[in-house]
């Protein structure tokens, strides 16, 4: 039996987890695992249950689904669709963008969907990309709530449902509420959200936005002793010498008569596609001294919210050793960065241009720290026939699962085996793409949820919610659960929010003696409702620098959508899943 002390101890651990996720740069997997170990040490989690959580059927299905998606990402499906999306009018391009992103995200990894569509939207010759990229992210989020497999959050909630002893969620359960929410959400994006988005100039390629570059003048350089003007630095097209760092002192603005001295650090801003012009100046060395890489292979990446780079400088993390890549340039929205590259602290959403080595894509910590946006030549696509086999196999697997012919676990397991036998996926790719961090988060979250339930913490929080919203009956309690889950999503991450909100939702339903399924569904829907911040959802972060957005742009564009989404979810869920 658990007593009052156990309740307070579990509350302290959960509160510490929330603070660590919201206010520190610690990786979520580390936070959840540490919290689980502390709860186990306090005797609040059973050993057998704790270990069994990491072999949960829904977790295994999620992992298999993500691995199958690796083959789907290499098909010609999205590249061919992407070429059709952009037209000469903003309205038609917007409609096609949100339609394609939403539909494909209902069964495919929405991160891959957004990644594939960013480049064609940025490179179009007709419409400012800032008018399309946030809608692209929002539509992929809305599409994710159409099916069980649309987002990892849905499968995580399904795992909690199974663990609690209730019937598992069906593949199309989410569509009953998800479809009207998706349609109304798209209308909201087209007629409300887009109006508040900026027009940040004509479209530019991913490597044409203004970046921040650093070059050092070597002691033997022939540039030494000549002025900025004499060296020709004023004649560069789309590259501007904005600062010189000399013996720790910053010189800005840089005048044409400024003499160049040995070991000067020259700071350029401008079009990264023109970086090769600097190689013609004798005795200039880039921040990362692998000039051969700069000349042959540039890749653009975005720093993730959970990246271990957060708050650290490139020198502190030894970037080249971590990723087999050197940083050529950095961009942070429309902010003008100051100082040397090595001294800039990295934050989520920062766009980095990397000169990558041969092992870049094989680095095990790549996916958890960086999102590859574009520029990687090794990302080859399959032929039309192989692409068709992959897509048909994937859709067939989903159809069989939806019809109840086999479980999602069985379907994804045999599909993955088929992909391996057909050499659509290699074993090396599987090891590289294995979502270890997600496995640790979900497995640990299941144990933490059990501790919250058994210690009584979930019931106490549910009682608090009932005291505020309970006067409105089950519908009011449902609204309270939605608000709590949504706030957690905006503060931490969607998966973590679902993990912490689920036991509270279950306790609320049990205290009112009603069917808990509408509460389960609301937790899943609310955990995906991240529209107000670039940091709450990965796709929002991916388009942050690509669209040259500010934080305020997300609030303006996302507020009406968040309101419409929330009201519809709370009103419609009990109609399709009665109390």
Q: Do 336 and 476 belong together in one domain?
A: no
Q: How many domains does the chain have?
A: 2
**Residue 491 within a domain:** yes
The CA distance from 169 to 47, in Å, is 27
Least confident of 286-295, 373-382, 464-473: 286-295
DSSP state string for 343-406: GPBP-TT-EEEEEE-TTGGG-TTHHHHEEEEE--TT-PPPPHHHHHHHHHHHHHHHHHHHTTSS
Q: Do 30 and 45 belong together in one domain?
A: yes
Looking at residue 525, its pLDDT comes to 96
Q: Do 273 and 290 belong together in one domain?
A: yes
**Cβ contact 458:507 at 8 Å:** yes
Q: Do 275 and 399 belong together in one domain?
A: no
Q: Do 193 and 234 belong together in one domain?
A: no
**Cβ contact 455:503 at 8 Å:** no
Looking at residue 224, its pLDDT comes to 92
**Residue 341 within a domain:** yes
Looking at residue 336, its pLDDT comes to 60
Q: Do 471 and 548 belong together in one domain?
A: yes
Looking at residue 291, its pLDDT comes to 45
**Residue 512 within a domain:** yes
Q: Do 98 and 27 belong together in one domain?
A: yes
pLDDT for residue 177 is more than 90: yes
Question: If you average pLDDT over residues 12-36, what whole number do you get?
Answer: 85
356 forms bridges with which residues in the sheet? 325
Share of the chain above pLDDT 90, in %: 26
Q: Do 215 and 196 belong together in one domain?
A: no
**Residue 494 within a domain:** yes
**Residue 394 within a domain:** yes
Looking at residue 223, its pLDDT comes to 92
Last residue of a domain, one of 374, 398, 426: 374
The CA distance from 455 to 18, in Å, is 18
The CA distance from 573 to 177, in Å, is 6
The CA distance from 300 to 279, in Å, is 20
313 forms bridges with which residues in the sheet? 345
**Residue 379 within a domain:** no
Range of the domain at 22: 1-204+384-579
Last residue of a domain, one of 331, 348, 374: 374
pLDDT for residue 392 is more than 80: yes
pLDDT for residue 413 is more than 90: yes
Phi, psi of 549 (to 5 degrees): -85, 165
Q: Do 310 and 249 belong together in one domain?
A: yes
Looking at residue 206, its pLDDT comes to 41
pLDDT band at 211 (very low <50, low <70, confident <90, very high): low
pLDDT for residue 212 is more than 60: yes
Q: Do 200 and 215 belong together in one domain?
A: no
CA angle 528, 533, 534 (to 5 degrees): 95
Residue 358 sits in a domain of what CATH number? 3.30.70.1450
**Residue 476 within a domain:** yes
Looking at residue 374, its pLDDT comes to 67
pLDDT for residue 290 is more than 80: no
Question: If you average pLDDT over residues 111-123, what whole number do you get?
Answer: 77
Q: Do 405 and 554 belong together in one domain?
A: yes
Least confident of 36-40, 93-97, 187-191, 307-311: 307-311
Last residue of a domain, one of 374, 394, 428: 374
Looking at residue 199, its pLDDT comes to 81
Looking at residue 204, its pLDDT comes to 45
Q: What is the pTM of this model?
A: 0.76
Question: If you average pLDDT over residues 204-223, what whole number do you get?
Answer: 71
Looking at residue 292, its pLDDT comes to 45
Q: Do 104 and 222 belong together in one domain?
A: no
């Amino acid at each position: 039996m658990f007593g009052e002390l156990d309740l307070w101890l579990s509350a302290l651990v959960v509160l510490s987890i929330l603070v660590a996720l919201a206010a520190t740069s610690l990786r979520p997997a580390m936070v959840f695992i540490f919290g689980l170990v502390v709860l186990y040490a306090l005797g609040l989690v059973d050993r057998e249950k704790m270990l069994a959580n990491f072999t949960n059927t829904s977790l295994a299905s999620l992992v298999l689904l993500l691995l199958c998606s690796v083959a789907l990402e290499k098909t010609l499906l999205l590249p061919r669709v992407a070429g059709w999306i952009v037209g000469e009018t903003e309205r038609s391009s917007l409609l096609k963008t949100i339609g394609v992103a939403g539909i494909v995200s209902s069964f495919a990894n929405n991160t891959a969907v957004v990644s594939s569509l960013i480049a064609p939207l940025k490179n179009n010759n007709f419409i400012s990309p800032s008018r399309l990229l946030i809608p692209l992210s929002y539509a992929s989020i809305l599409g994710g709530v159409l099916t069980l497999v649309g987002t990892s959050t849905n499968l995580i909630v399904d795992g909690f449902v199974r663990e609690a002893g209730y019937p598992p969620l069906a593949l199309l359960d989410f569509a009953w509420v998800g479809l009207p929410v998706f349609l109304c959400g798209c209308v909201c994006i087209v007629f409300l959200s887009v109006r508040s988005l900026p027009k940040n100039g004509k479209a530019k390629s991913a490597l044409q936005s203004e970046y921040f570059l650093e070059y050092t003048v070597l002691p033997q350089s022939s540039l030494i002793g000549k002025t900025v003007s004499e060296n020709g630095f004023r004649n560069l097209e789309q590259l501007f010498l904005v600062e010189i760092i000399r013996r720790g002192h910053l010189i800005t603005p840089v005048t044409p008569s400024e003499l160049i001295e040995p070991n000067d650090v020259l700071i350029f801003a401008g079009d990264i596609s023109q970086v090769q012009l600097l190689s013609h100046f004798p005795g200039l060395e880039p921040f990362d001294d692998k000039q051969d890489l700069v000349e042959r292979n540039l890749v653009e990446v975005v720093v993730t919210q959970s990246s271990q780079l957060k708050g650290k400088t490139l020198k502190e993390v030894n970037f080249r050793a971590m990723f087999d890549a050197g940083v050529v340039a950095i961009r942070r929205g429309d902010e003008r960065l100051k100082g040397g590259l090595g001294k800039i602290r990295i934050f989520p959403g920062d766009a980095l241009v990397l000169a990558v080595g041969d092992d870049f894509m094989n680095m095990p910590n790549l996916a958890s720290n960086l999102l590859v946006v574009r520029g990687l030549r090794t990302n080859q696509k399959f032929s039309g026939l192989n692409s068709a086999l992959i897509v048909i196999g994937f859709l067939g697997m989903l159809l069989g699962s939806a019809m109840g012919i086999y479980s999602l676990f069985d379907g994804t397991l045999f599909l993955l085996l088929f992909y391996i036998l057909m050499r659509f996926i290699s074993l090396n790719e599987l090891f590289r793409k294995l979502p270890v961090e997600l496995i640790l988060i979900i497995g640990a979250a299941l144990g933490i949820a059990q501790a919250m339930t058994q210690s009584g913490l979930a019931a106490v929080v549910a009682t608090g919610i009932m005291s505020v919203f309970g006067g409105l009956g089950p519908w009011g309690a449902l609204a309270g659960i939605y608000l709590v889950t949504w706030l957690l999503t905006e503060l931490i991450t969607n998966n973590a929010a679902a993990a912490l909100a689920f036991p509270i939702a279950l306790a609320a339903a049990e205290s009112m003696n009603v069917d808990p399924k509408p509460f389960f569904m609301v937790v899943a829907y609310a955990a995906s409702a991240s529209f107000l911040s670039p940091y709450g959802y990965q796709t929002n972060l991916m388009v942050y620098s690509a669209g040259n957005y500010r934080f305020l742009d997300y609030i303006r564009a996302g507020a009406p959508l968040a309101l419409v989404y929330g009201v519809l979810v709370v009103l419609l869920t009990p109609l399709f899943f009665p109390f």
